[in-house]
Structure 1
């Protein structure tokens, strides 16, 4: 089964203040996440699963290849130890966050006009992110099945970084869905969402009503420590998928899907208890309206 490629809508919000992640990688990440959100109502269940698995793996392989080249050129030495690798990846993630493409609510509603409310749209985004995360795990797990896996530590680092980016993108778009998006410029919004990812909850509500606090916000040492710890744990969890005598691709996909869904539930539960600043935010961007910034 083959579906036509869906071009990126004009209402997307490409966070583009940093050169840490090449545009090619950012576009591939956005495409992977969006494609995995698609529903295939006319296909049999087995055909749907096969399409998600194969299509996702192809896109994930392309994305991981780009990121592996980038990390290799940057001299990232994960083999020095998990602690060093976690700190190095944390710096990459902080630098890369402004490049993660985040869709505004208007764009999301235009893409999914059949979503009758925030909960239904959130379901679509979470399902897509879990599939994308799983595809990335399958991609690097399959590489480990080779007799001599090429540059395996860097491959793991690339997958860890890509999954974190998928999850940060999901967190940002869930904030849009529930009417509590971060304010500020591109870098400030990215900072807020990285912090939310590290803390496993929605962004600090006080930042939504105190612009001065948001303007002064930066990824400080405590947040960087949390980001590093999360990335280190994620890398260590992937080690079983690297064992050649195990079904690496299946293990990697299952681990990633489980962890991404766990994060999504935590953040979503927090956001469900927030009160949107604009009570009419959902209907204000009904499908068919203007989706421009």
Structure 2
């Protein structure tokens, strides 16, 4: 209609005339008017209070997680110490059961050889034996039984220790240095020699008394831990662990034998100067070295 107000002008005019809505907001969408009055808990201060109440909960959760981690580490350390103690006791238990050939038996088995040639034979045989043990554990790593791996490692360390203890005892015989005492006392000397990777001078009472002291168990645990860490690559799959285990065990056994022989040579007693020695007593329950793995699994 001519002379009437256009519709868009009527819309803006009506909006300007409208007052604030019931919730305190103007229709021009500018929000609340400025004011110096305190904002109630539904405003920004309320959000701050919510954050402040949530902060202690976050700290409590962080503390709980930290406590859980510390507890897990503590339990893991306890289990590791228990495993080391078990393997240590197992090696101490089997040491007197290891059959040892005395010098007369060795010379009958290897006639015509001198001390060094005979020692070389013994070291080569022990290296082959520990290499076989390492290869066996590496092959077992291919089996789908991951929970058995700690048992495999413990069996390997114990088996290698038995072979090397036999080697050490027979090297003492070859170099004319049989430790004094009974079977248990001699076994303690061999254990100490194995844990320290050196030969003990049995002609010095102070050195022998140190071998029989309470420090031996602590040194044994340290040696077992070192051997266990070194044997971890044996668990690699695809038969790689078998090759690595065989190589590392052969190397470690030879290194141990070289150190022990170096010490024993310094106090070696020639065969023609040896007094008549009685045969070594047989263990009551000899360890079967031919079926070492089955014996250690008992």
TM-score interval (norm. to shorter): 0.5 to 0.7
Aligned equivalent of 2:93: 95
Please, which of 100, 111, 114 is the counterpart of residue 112 of structure 2? 114
Aligned equivalent of 1:250: 243
Cα shift at 1:219: 4.4
Kept in 1: contact 2:137–2:153 (CA 8 A): yes
Please, which of 162, 168, 176 is the counterpart of residue 173 of structure 2? 176
Unaligned regions of 5+ residues in structure 1, if any? 1-77
Unaligned regions of 5+ residues in structure 2, if any? 1-75, 282-298
Normalization by structure 2: what TM-score?
0.62
Cα shift at 1:275: 3.6
CA-atom RMSD, angstroms? 2.8
Which protein has the larger Cα radius of gyration, Structure 1 or Structure 2? 2
Aligned equivalent of 2:253: 260
1:166 and 1:236 map into 2 onto residues whose CA distance is: 19
Aligned equivalent of 2:143: 146
Query: 1:99-152, CA deviations, whole angstroms, 9 ceiling, x for partnerless residues?
Result: 11111000001111132x100000000000000010000011100011335622
Aligned equivalent of 1:86: 84
Q: 1:183 to 1:135 in 2, by over 3 A?
A: same
SS at match of 2:91: helix
2:124 and 2:92 map into 1 onto residues whose CA distance is: 25
Cα shift at 1:86: 2.0
Q: 1:263 to 1:86 in 2, by over 3 A?
A: same
Matched, 1:201 2:191: no
SS at match of 2:100: strand
Q: Which structure has more RCO (C-alpha within 8 Å, separation ≥ 6)?
A: 1
Aligned equivalent of 1:192: 189
Query: 1:16-65, CA deviations, whole angstroms, 9 ceiling, x for partnerless residues?
Result: xxxxxxxxxxxxxxxxxxxxxxxxxxxxxxxxxxxxxxxxxxxxxxxxxx
SS at match of 1:101: coil
Number of equivalent positions: 206
Q: 1:242 to 1:271 in 2, by over 3 A?
A: same
2:216 and 2:280 map into 1 onto residues whose CA distance is: 33
Query: 1:189-234, CA deviations, whole angstroms, 9 ceiling, x for partnerless residues?
Result: 1011111111211123345xx5x996x7774331111111111111
